[in-house]
Amino acid sequence: MKSFNFRLDSILSYRDYLEKRAQIELFKANQELLKKKDDVKQLNKKRLEIAKKCNSEESNGVEVHRYQMYKSFLKVIDLQIENTFAEVKNAEESVRQKKGILKKESIRKKTLQSLKDLQFEQYKMEYEKEEQKIIDELVLIRREIEYENAKP
């Protein structure tokens, strides 16, 4: 009997490729999200340091020009934090989309894999039936030969 051959094997391989590509894209999106979150933390840390410097100089008495420079710098950092936070939100949305794509590709691949497994099980059953048929025929031939040899 011929060996098992799944006709849609090339499509299954392609779907496996699409699933792996979706996994890579999800990984990249997660890395980008982590980078953006780290940027927000760094900006918050920088803002806190500058605010502490401003407060310490304010308590010691600071020139108006220098105080205004601190305040404008803090405003710039606040804007950067807002922009980076918006980028974090966009990155989170991108991660959600990539997860959806990965799930869809995974389902498509698993569906085809299930079909392949089902067809393989059917092939095995047919193979076993064919093998049993051949064994039965051999037993019949052997008995027939033994019967003819037993005749006087």
Count of domains forming the chain: 1
- Residue-wise pLDDT for 76-111, tens only, equals 999 999 999 999 999 999 999 999 999 999 999 999
Q: What is the pLDDT of residue 1?
A: 67
Q: Which amino acid is at 134?
A: I
pTM of the full structure: 0.73
Percent of the chain exceeding pLDDT 70 equals 98
Q: Is residue 107 part of a domain?
A: yes
Distance CA(123)–CA(68), nearest Å, equals 81
Q: What is the pLDDT of residue 152?
A: 64
Q: Is residue 41 part of a domain?
A: yes
Q: How confident is the model at residue 134 (pLDDT cuts 50, 70, 90)?
A: very high
Whether residue 45 is predicted with pLDDT greater than 90 in this model: the reply is: yes
Q: How confident is the model at residue 5 (pLDDT cuts 50, 70, 90)?
A: confident
28, 87 contact by CB (below 8 A): no
Question: Token pair of 144, please?
Answer: 């027939």
Question: Where in the sequence is the domain holding 52, given as residue range(s)?
Answer: 9-113
Whether residue 3 is predicted with pLDDT greater than 90 in this model: the reply is: no
Distance CA(79)–CA(66), nearest Å, equals 20
Q: Is residue 19 part of a domain?
A: yes
Mean predicted confidence (pLDDT) in 53-70: 79
Residues in the chain: 152
Mean predicted confidence (pLDDT) in 142-148: 84
Whether residue 127 is predicted with pLDDT greater than 80 in this model: the reply is: yes
Q: Is residue 136 part of a domain?
A: no
Q: Is residue 131 part of a domain?
A: no
